[in-house]
A and B are shown apart, each in its own frame.
Chain A
Amino acid sequence: MSEQVMIEVENLTRKFGGFVAVDHVSFAVPKGRVFGFLGPNGAGKSTTIRMLTTLLRPTAGTARISGYDLVKEPDKVRRKIGLVSEKLIVYDRLTARENLRLFGRLNHLPDDIIRERTEHWLRALKMEPWADHLAGTFSTGMKQRVNIARALLNMPEVLFLDEPTLGLDPQTTRSIREFIQDLRSQGVTIVLTTHQMYEAEALCDTIGIIDRGRMVAVGTSSELKKMLNGDGTAVIDLEIPNLSDDMVTAIAEVPSVKHIGHETATRLRVQTVAGTAGGASGAGGADPGAPGDTIGQVLARLLSSGARLASVNMAEPTLEDVFVQLTGHEMRDEVQDKVPSGRGHSRQRVAQRVAR
């Protein structure tokens, strides 16, 4: 194929003191495609974006963006890219229009072009009526629209979006997602980060799963899920009204149970592996066989520890399951740890034990 490669990242690495925030990350994005970084908090998504937008110097490795070397020709790269970072780049005491004029001029665009594009993007983002209002009076969603318009002023070939829907309501989120799809169809190459699986699946042609600075998998969403199906992984959703820690411990003893996710107070998501892979702990017990056997064992143990099963479902693996499979821990670990009660702890213990 003669697809033009717009972004080519090679072994990009960044250390903060002794801490490796981004560890030899490599990937390529063809023109007009959307590449998504999916990973939990602190995975290194923003650090990667900051390096790719010349805001941070890589410790090692480099990248070519629109054909220019990131490290050697940062100014040429800057002319080709747009950035929507985690923090809003909008001045509160300038109006929407003034904000755009300022950044248009800093991008060395002639005034008539700035005016034309300001109208164009504000209309496309439905911000026209507020063009002459101070940005400080806007809601987060409105500010984000101005922020996106700003990033698009220089008609970038490559657009970087760092969690573009962070903190937005569902409606605004949807309209921004649609807007991103529009941009894609206009041939803009996009790199976006998110820790929402749905967003990654809905928007991205290719997804890179990143954890603790390392890219653990790259592929389309269906390719990634096939990685699970291929090795006989099964995911079971269980609804247990009288769920207790003892039950969780009981299932954790089944050798082929890879991971137990505590979705809610009464809901478990159990991931199992086929074959002998799950028997690594060697604790003995029943011989693990096909997925069906594992499910039988899980159910048997639950029933014998007094669980009332409200529902049992074989679930389609999600990207979250892929993430769990690859990293041994959940993407939402940090968020869930904030849930009170000892559950979080036991879940973590189990996850750790299984990961070993």
Chain B
Amino acid sequence: MRQTLKDAFEIAWKDLADFFRDRMRLISFIIMPIFMMVMTGYIFPSQNSLNGVSIAVVNGDGGGAAASRVAAGLEQIEIGGTKSFNLLSASSADEAKDLIRQGRISGAIVIPAGFTQGIMSGKQAQVTIITDQSNPQVSAMLGTMLEKVVDAFSTKVAEEKLRAVTAMAPVPLLGDPDAAVRPFVVRQEGIVAGEPNYFQFMAPGIMAMVVVMAVMMGLAGAIAREREIGTLDGILVAPINRLSIILGKTFSQSVRGFTQGALVLVLAVLLFHVRVYGSLLLVALLLVLGIFSFVGLGILISAFASEQETAMTILMTLNFPMMFLSGAFFPVQQMPEIMRWLSRLIPLSYTIQGLRKVMILGAGLGAITTEIAVLAGFGLVTLAIAVPAFSKAITR
């Protein structure tokens, strides 16, 4: 066994020397996680990511005071110092629709004629929101925002009316008019302090994905590559245990994957202000187990793929659905039943779940025992299948 480990170390040393002396590969090795972070960090919608979205206001009410107040309300909405809306005016609902079709605006709000007068005379007034269905994401957000504005405005109108009524009443019948209109308000409270940040949610997923994929690709690709260029024969013709080849390759690829994972974490903290609330040691443990859970699969692929390209194609095919099913980008809870069920079959899901618990919620060892057990179990079972299969397949 000691000899096996020594041989494994020699193979790992060779792999790492080979890797770190290849400047191009080293550069892409560093750039890849940076790209990954920056892309996901900036592209994915943060909670209120509307900024500078053009919308049209169709003010059919002419000089009506209420209508102007709605429009002014819209203009004031801003997030982080930038205005969410860029208001244009349109003369009719049809013109607004045309503008949407041309792609010049993303939505419109139509205030009908007699809006102000309707409110004043105690009738229920109505505004129409026109959305751009070709862009469901923006249109959904816009819908919510516009509804909120209109809602806030109508609440205000209601309060004013109520106040007027109570002021006239001889006895204060209703207490606080605010409470009468809005009997309760919701206050949010998280487990850890601070604002929920979309990137905080993303970081563990990306980290797990980068590490696991680097190791899987590296493992399957490296063995297939050595087979292709012929150097594998040199290792195979040496009187060494087949296990030491697996161990050596796994070790060198893990070092690479781990370095990349650490890089992602550092970037997340420095660039996107991600905070790790739990212990870094647990984060490392989960990553190690995450790698472990996939080693068997990587070895199986490498044993049967005779060319590097075949190995990569198989991996790509596996990686793509895994990326989504594991919940790295979208919460698993939002997926349909069958997808959630599939998600449970992927070890990456558990790595990410565990990492989120530790990194976002500050969970301790006790809270992630399930994840640890599943990952270890998965790794052991796949390895038990992969190691004998590899030894058999490698000398066909």
Interface residues of A (CB under 8 A from B): 50, 53-57, 74-76, 78-79, 81, 83, 85-94, 98, 102-103, 105-108, 134, 150
User: In the complex, A108→B236 CA distance in Å?
Assistant: 14
Chain B residues 1 to 21 lying within 8 A of chain A, measured CB to CB, are: 3, 6-7, 10-11, 13-14, 17-18, 21
User: In the complex, A102→B12 CA distance in Å?
Assistant: 11
Taking the closest CB of chain A, its distance from the CB of B231, in whole angstroms, is 5
Count of chain B residues with Cβ under 8 Å from any Cβ of A? Answer: 24
Taking the closest CB of chain A, its distance from the CB of B221, in whole angstroms, is 16
Partner of B237, one of A54, A90, A91, A98: A54
Partner of B395, one of A56, A88, A89, A102: A56
Taking the closest CB of chain B, its distance from the CB of A152, in whole angstroms, is 13
| Most interface-central of A57, A83, A87, A88 (chain B CB within 10 A) | A87
Partner of A105, one of B10, B229, B233, B236: B10
Mostly, the B contact residues are helix
User: In the complex, A119→B11 CA distance in Å?
Assistant: 22
Indicate if the CB atoms of A108 and B239 lie closer than 8 Å: yes
Indicate if the CB atoms of A81 and B22 lie closer than 8 Å: no
Q: Assess A106 versus B229: contact at CB under 8 Å? Given A78-B239, A150-B234.
A: no
User: Can you name 20 A-B residue pairings with CB atoms under 8 Å?
Assistant: A50-B233, A53-B237, A54-B237, A55-B236, A57-B396, A76-B239, A85-B230, A89-B230, A89-B234, A93-B17, A93-B18, A93-B22, A94-B14, A94-B17, A102-B13, A105-B6, A106-B7, A106-B10, A106-B235, A108-B239
Nearest chain-B residue to A83 (Cβ)?
A: B237
Chain B residues with Cβ under 8 A from A150's Cβ? Answer: 234
Partner of A89, one of B3, B13, B21, B233: B233
Q: Assess A78 versus B238: contact at CB under 8 Å? Given A90-B231, A93-B18.
A: yes
Indicate if the CB atoms of B14 and A108 lie closer than 8 Å: no
Indicate if the CB atoms of A75 and B239 lie closer than 8 Å: yes
Partner of B240, one of A50, A89, A106: A106
Indicate if the CB atoms of A107 and B238 lie closer than 8 Å: yes
Chain A residues with Cβ under 8 A from B14's Cβ? Answer: 91, 94, 102
Q: Assess A83 versus B395: contact at CB under 8 Å? Given A75-B239, A78-B238.
A: no
Chain A residues with Cβ under 8 A from B234's Cβ? Answer: 83, 89, 103, 150
Taking the closest CB of chain B, its distance from the CB of A190, in whole angstroms, is 16
Indicate if the CB atoms of B238 and A106 lie closer than 8 Å: yes
User: In the complex, A86→B234 CA distance in Å?
Assistant: 12
User: In the complex, A74→B236 CA distance in Å?
Assistant: 11
Interface residues of B (CB under 8 A from A): 3, 6-7, 10-11, 13-14, 17-18, 21-22, 229-231, 233-240, 395-396
Indicate if the CB atoms of A87 and B21 lie closer than 8 Å: no
Nearest chain-A residue to B227 (Cβ)?
A: A87
Indicate if the CB atoms of B238 and A86 lie closer than 8 Å: no
User: In the complex, A56→B392 CA distance in Å?
Assistant: 10
| Most interface-central of B3, B11, B18, B236 (chain A CB within 10 A) | B236
The 9 closest A-B pairs by CB, nearest first: A87-B230, A89-B234, A106-B238, A78-B239, A93-B21, A93-B18, A83-B237, A105-B10, A79-B239
User: In the complex, A134→B21 CA distance in Å?
Assistant: 10
User: In the complex, A54→B14 CA distance in Å?
Assistant: 23
Q: Assess A88 versus B239: contact at CB under 8 Å? Given A94-B17, A108-B3.
A: no
| Most interface-central of A50, A81, A91 (chain B CB within 10 A) | A91
Q: Assess A81 versus B237: contact at CB under 8 Å? Given A54-B395, A57-B396, A108-B3.
A: yes
Indicate if the CB atoms of B236 and A98 lie closer than 8 Å: no
Chain B residues with Cβ under 8 A from A93's Cβ? Answer: 17-18, 21-22
Indicate if the CB atoms of B395 and A55 lie closer than 8 Å: yes
Nearest chain-A residue to B20 (Cβ)?
A: A93
Chain A residues with Cβ under 8 A from B240's Cβ? Answer: 106, 108
Q: Assess A86 versus B17: contact at CB under 8 Å? Given A78-B238, A106-B10.
A: no
Partner of A102, one of B10, B230, B233, B396: B10
Chain B residues with Cβ under 8 A from A76's Cβ? Answer: 239
Chain A residues with Cβ under 8 A from B236's Cβ? Answer: 54-55
Partner of B231, one of A74, A89, A108: A89
Nearest chain-A residue to B237 (Cβ)?
A: A83
User: In the complex, A53→B237 CA distance in Å?
Assistant: 7
User: In the complex, A91→B234 CA distance in Å?
Assistant: 10
Partner of B18, one of A78, A79, A94: A94
Chain B residues with Cβ under 8 A from A105's Cβ? Answer: 6-7, 10
User: In the complex, A89→B239 CA distance in Å?
Assistant: 16
Known: A94-B14, A106-B240. 20 other contacts (CB 8 A): A50-B233, A54-B236, A55-B395, A57-B396, A78-B239, A81-B237, A87-B229, A88-B230, A90-B231, A91-B18, A93-B17, A94-B17, A94-B18, A103-B238, A105-B6, A105-B7, A105-B10, A106-B7, A106-B238, A108-B3
User: In the complex, A134→B237 CA distance in Å?
Assistant: 23
Chain B residues with Cβ under 8 A from A98's Cβ? Answer: 17
User: In the complex, A85→B238 CA distance in Å?
Assistant: 14
User: In the complex, A75→B14 CA distance in Å?
Assistant: 22
Indicate if the CB atoms of A55 and B237 lie closer than 8 Å: yes
Chain A residues with Cβ under 8 A from B7's Cβ? Answer: 105-106
User: In the complex, A98→B231 CA distance in Å?
Assistant: 14
| Most interface-central of A81, A85, A150 (chain B CB within 10 A) | A85
Nearest chain-A residue to B240 (Cβ)?
A: A106
User: In the complex, A92→B236 CA distance in Å?
Assistant: 18
Chain A residues with Cβ under 8 A from B239's Cβ? Answer: 75-76, 78-79, 107-108
Nearest chain-B residue to A78 (Cβ)?
A: B239
Chain A residues with Cβ under 8 A from B231's Cβ? Answer: 87-91
User: In the complex, A119→B83 CA distance in Å?
Assistant: 74
Nearest chain-A residue to B234 (Cβ)?
A: A89
Taking the closest CB of chain B, its distance from the CB of A146, in whole angstroms, is 11
Nearest chain-B residue to A134 (Cβ)?
A: B21
User: In the complex, A55→B235 CA distance in Å?
Assistant: 10
User: In the complex, A92→B22 CA distance in Å?
Assistant: 10
User: In the complex, A88→B229 CA distance in Å?
Assistant: 8
Taking the closest CB of chain A, its distance from the CB of B3, in whole angstroms, is 7
Q: Assess A78 versus B237: contact at CB under 8 Å? Given A93-B18, A94-B14.
A: yes
Nearest chain-A residue to B229 (Cβ)?
A: A87
Nearest chain-A residue to B11 (Cβ)?
A: A106
Nearest chain-B residue to A57 (Cβ)?
A: B395
Chain A residues with Cβ under 8 A from B238's Cβ? Answer: 78, 103, 106-107
